[in-house]
Amino acid sequence: MIKNNMLDRLTALSKQHRTGLVPDFAWARPGSTKPVGPNTVAGKYDGDYSANACRVPMMLAKSNDPRAQKVLNKMMRFFSEQYYITAGYSLNGHRLVKYQSNSFSAPIFYAVSCNRNEGYDNLFASQKHIFSKPLTEKNYYDATLTTLAALEGMN
């Protein structure tokens, strides 16, 4: 029941923008799901694709549920159209920052690794940069998501 409800909510959020991006936090009410506004929970990017939502591609990557795959594929098409992936986007696809982060790239790399030949294999090449440098000792989130992408990619 929880899985179905969550996938229904993710699907509803994904349908709200051509990018398919989902927010860090959303209001879920009977018959309605919408992104929260800035500074509602944790910061100014609460209603954007940011530090919490960046894990969604990794979490959906191995799901056989058609709803999960639809949300994931829509997001991955958006990312495959980007020149490079930055550390956050508004839901309509505008970059929030200019820098890259393994916290965003690792989940995308993992999702592509699990879903090869789906039309966004260019992301496999562009996001493998996460393995070109030693793991950071200053950002546990980057290090953890990079390690998970590496370990899961070996399975």
- Span 30-81, pLDDT tens digits: 889 999 999 999 999 999 999 999 999 999 999 999 999 999 999 999 999 9
* pLDDT category of residue 154 using cuts at 50, 70 and 90: low
Over 60: is that where the pLDDT of 155 sits?
no
Nearest-angstrom CA–CA distance, 145 and 154? 14
Q: What pLDDT score does 48 carry?
A: 98
Instruction: Tell me how far apart the alpha carbons of residues 150 and 104 are, in angstroms, rounded to a whole number.
Output: 14
What pLDDT is attached to residue 98? 95
pLDDT band at 97 (very low <50, low <70, confident <90, very high): very high
What distances in angstroms separate CA 3 from CA 7, 10, 35, 104, 146, one per listed residue? Answer: 6, 10, 19, 23, 25
Distance from C-alpha of 81 to C-alpha of 120, rounded to nearest angstrom: 9
Predicted structure pTM score: 0.91
Single-letter amino acid, residue 76: M
Phi, psi of 147 (to 5 degrees): -65, -45
How far is residue 44's CA from residue 27's CA, in Å, rounded to a whole number? 16
Cβ neighbours for 83, distance < 8 A, ≥ 6 positions apart: none
Return the residue matching tokens 């927010």: 23
Domains of the chain plus CATH, in order, are 2-153 (1.50.10.10)
Is the pLDDT at 151 greater than 90, yes or no?
A: no
Mean pLDDT, the chain, whole residue set:
90
**Cα 82 versus chain centre, distance:** 14
In this prediction, residue 67 carries a pLDDT of 96
Residue 152 has pLDDT above 80, yes or no: no
